[in-house]
A and B are shown apart, each in its own frame.
Chain A
């Protein structure tokens, strides 16, 4: 709110030469002033995109614009090919010079991207920076696809993708909506390190996913991610514990999860109902959202039956 909403809108490039469009050429050959002039005269130059945010990278691939992608951040893990691209590093600690060296014509960023000064520097250097809002809902995904499509001149592909997505969405959601069985209580645990274990409250991305598969978030008392406390976990009475695959391996598998304070005392713990999905797949809110909902629904249903 305070420092980032001025970045919500595209950072307007200054009325300055779009010199960076030739940087790619400069990297391989010698910088020639004539090239810069050629661009000034309005010659069409290939679009070069840097994507900061795994969800955005997936959208770009889904729109078939992967050839225009010249750099991604560390959360861009899908599709596999994206990990072969130059990495601009951790989304919150970007380097203006590093990104400019990739001579992008457009930087697409999630709200995580920063620091703000770096985004400002890139914008000032003449590269448009667009920060897309992190609306972790199905509508948000649709909106992002439309916006990315418009920004990279692929509105037609975007509409196509949108229709496909809506169909998939109906297909994924229909059986869930039709189901009459009582909703299980799901506790989502996020852990980046063994000592840093958080649970997902209302309004978190995990909360949205839990709602989409017709389950109930066991945590109702607070918003966002907060540190796990044993009493709160026991009071939440979860039927299932949900993690990301990365988080699961950090705490040491199912046995490690059950050793976390309080979890063994819950129904989920006693029945060893602990499930996990890959982090970007489950919480990336990209074009794979319908598949993610189906997959999550499956693992939860299987856990409840087993």
Chain B
């Protein structure tokens, strides 16, 4: 697939990519200068010098809180947008979203179950583990949903994508019911922990997470290189994709696992952040068309910009308070979604 590999790297150097890249870099710069604590040039210098002196004041906030959070927002936005682009390509449906598959609610469901059941069973969890327990559960939930999704859909309806979609809807309903049950059973204290998963927040960002996500994104990007062109063939329909030599089943498993990893990571550390996965691929489709080889990397850029925008607004609109980021992604996303539906109606 040398040709498509060439193509893939070529696309990034095309004009929209450069433009978006520039917007993103400016956005990161602007976001770094905005916030409750005033950052001065000497703070930047203190970071850049990198001596052994512990950082203080604005430099501490910049290095330990603001920069990791900004980069985290950028990468979570890219991850959400990529999983959205992949899901839409897989289902040949521009309205598909990882939420539709049940991946997001599967992750939240696992977290809710962990909160309520573990507390109910009275098992003492060491403090050191508690920090990791919920994210690990959410991640496991996302992967488990994908696994169930794939095996059930394959067993029920052979290789049909409609079957997969319907299974996703059923799993979504199931997860929603379990979350509802957990909410009912939860004590007030447990409810507080549950709230986090529904609100969505990037407040948990730190350098360790940012690095982990960067590695995950680089791996995803590498896997993508081979997937995107064969995903274009899916647009012909499953049968025709097989006729031109695409192993649809293997492709589906790979795409689903990729979506699970990206979504699991995002939900595990940031709760449920909606609309990015839906909106970013659409903006790119309007910009450069539906070719997955261009769509996937550009959607990552757009998703990064959108979430950075939303999170910066969430951080700075009500200083020193913070507004849930989900409100801003919905404010950006919902009107766009409606315009999209209107366009589709006019188009048909």
Interface residues of A (CB under 8 A from B): 1-4, 6, 16-17, 19-20, 22-23, 26-27, 30-31, 33, 36, 71, 74, 86-90, 92-102, 111-112, 114-115, 117-118, 121, 124-125, 223-227
With a cutoff of 8 Å between Cβ atoms, the chain B residues found around residue A114 in the complex are 192, 195-196
With a cutoff of 8 Å between Cβ atoms, the chain B residues found around residue A101 in the complex are 35-37, 61, 319-320
Please state if B322 and A16 are interface contacts (CB–CB under 8 Å): no
With a cutoff of 8 Å between Cβ atoms, the chain B residues found around residue A94 in the complex are 203, 321-322
Interface members, chain B 94-144 (any A CB < 8 Å) = 114-115, 118-119, 125, 127, 130, 133-134
With a cutoff of 8 Å between Cβ atoms, the chain A residues found around residue B293 in the complex are none
With a cutoff of 8 Å between Cβ atoms, the chain A residues found around residue B190 in the complex are 1-2
Extra contacts, 10 of them, besides A20-B60, A89-B318 (Cβ < 8 A), are A2-B125, A19-B57, A31-B40, A89-B320, A92-B196, A92-B199, A93-B322, A100-B36, A101-B61, A117-B203
A100 touching B187 in the complex, CB below 8 Å, given contacts A2-B193, A26-B58, A118-B203 = no
Query: Would you list the 4 A-B pairs with minimal beta carbon distance, nearest first?
Result: A89-B321, A98-B320, A101-B36, A19-B56
Tell me the complex Cα distance, A289–B13, Å.
Answer: 67
Among B37, B56, B184, B201, max chain A CB count under 10 A is at: B56
A117 touching B204 in the complex, CB below 8 Å, given contacts A2-B190, A98-B321 = yes
B 304-348 binary contact with A (CB < 8 Å = 1; else 0): 000000000001001111111000000000000000000000000
Please state if A16 and B54 are interface contacts (CB–CB under 8 Å): yes
Interface residues of B (CB under 8 A from A): 35-38, 40, 42-43, 54, 56-58, 60-61, 64-66, 114-115, 118-119, 125, 127, 130, 133-134, 184, 187-190, 192-193, 195-196, 199, 201, 203-204, 206, 315, 318-324
Please state if A19 and B60 are interface contacts (CB–CB under 8 Å): yes
Please state if B315 and A97 are interface contacts (CB–CB under 8 Å): yes
Please state if B64 and A125 are interface contacts (CB–CB under 8 Å): yes
- Nearest A residue to B324 via CB reads A93
With a cutoff of 8 Å between Cβ atoms, the chain A residues found around residue B315 in the complex are 95, 97-98
- Nearest A residue to B186 via CB reads A224
Checking A30, A71, A115, A125 against B204 with a beta-carbon cut-off of 8 angstroms, the contacting residue is A115
Tell me the complex Cα distance, A131–B49, Å.
Answer: 37
- Nearest B residue to A33 via CB reads B42
With a cutoff of 8 Å between Cβ atoms, the chain A residues found around residue B36 in the complex are 95, 97-98, 100-102
With a cutoff of 8 Å between Cβ atoms, the chain B residues found around residue A6 in the complex are 127, 130
With a cutoff of 8 Å between Cβ atoms, the chain A residues found around residue B193 in the complex are 2-4
CB<8 Å pairs between A and B, sample of 24: A2-B193, A3-B193, A6-B130, A17-B56, A19-B60, A27-B38, A87-B320, A89-B322, A94-B203, A95-B203, A95-B320, A95-B322, A96-B65, A97-B66, A99-B320, A100-B65, A101-B35, A101-B61, A102-B320, A114-B195, A115-B196, A115-B201, A224-B188, A225-B188
A89 to chain B, nearest CB (A): 3
Tell me the complex Cα distance, A33–B56, Å.
Answer: 9
A90 touching B188 in the complex, CB below 8 Å, given contacts A3-B115, A3-B193, A118-B203 = no
A20 touching B57 in the complex, CB below 8 Å, given contacts A2-B118, A224-B187 = yes
